[in-house]
Structure formats: structure tokens, C-alpha cells
Amino acid sequence: MQAHASQAEVQEQGCLAVSNLAANCDNKTAVANAGDIRVVIAAMQTHAGHTGIQEEGCGVLFNMGRSDTRLQKCIKEQGGVGVVEAAVVALESNAPCTVQARALLRKLATV
């Protein structure tokens, strides 16, 4: 993803792949240690108007932060709150995505 940061299609597919990896509890730490949280946040910032990247990026951050306080802190420290808030506005017509994003924001507010 870092090598092709300007290519939206690569970023969207990369976020989808990382989201799938992060859905498995055993993979979350490895994903975080690989720097993928920062890469996903950067993709969401760079491609703020790309719905697919916003959806998949929120999926990654939700999967990473839904039950792990350490990863919630990591997401928050790396600027995750701002990108998720922006995604909620951009994706207001996508109820499933915004429900997850708002749930993540509630968790991030407590760490």
C-alpha cells in the first residue's frame, strides 16, 4: 500500500485485505506491529472522497479496535478519531458502516 499510495484501487483492496486479517484475533497484534494502522489511516486521509477506501478503512479500524484497549489507544494516537469522524460524514448513507464507525468512536473516546 505504501508503494502505491496514490492509486485508489490498490488502497481499497489493501484495506480490504488488512480488514480480513484483522478480523482474526490472533492477527491483530501482527497487523498493528507491521504498521498497518498508520498505513490505513494515511490511505483514508489521502483518499478522503473515495467511498470504498473509507468503508474498508473503517472496517480495518473497527476490527482492530473493537475489543482491544491497547489497539484502541494506538488507533487514537495515530489520528484514527479524525479519519473515522470524517468517514461517518462521508458515508452517512451507508448505515452498516456508520454504525461500526460510531461504535469505534465511542470506544476511542474512553481510552
Q: How far apart are the first and last CA of the chain?
A: 28
Q: By the 8 A CB rule, do 54 and 90 touch?
A: yes
pLDDT the model gives residue 16: 93
C-alpha cell at 76: 487514537
Reported as type and span, the H/E element at residue 14 is: helix 8-22
Domain with 49, as residue range(s), is 2-109
pLDDT in tens, 63-106: 999 888 999 999 999 999 999 999 999 888 877 888 989 999 99
pLDDT in tens, 21-80: 998 888 988 988 888 999 999 999 999 989 999 999 999 999 999 888 999 999 999 999
pTM passes above 0.85: yes
Structural domain total, the chain: 1
Distance between CA atoms of 37 and 62, rounded to whole angstroms?
A: 11
Place of cell 477506501: 53
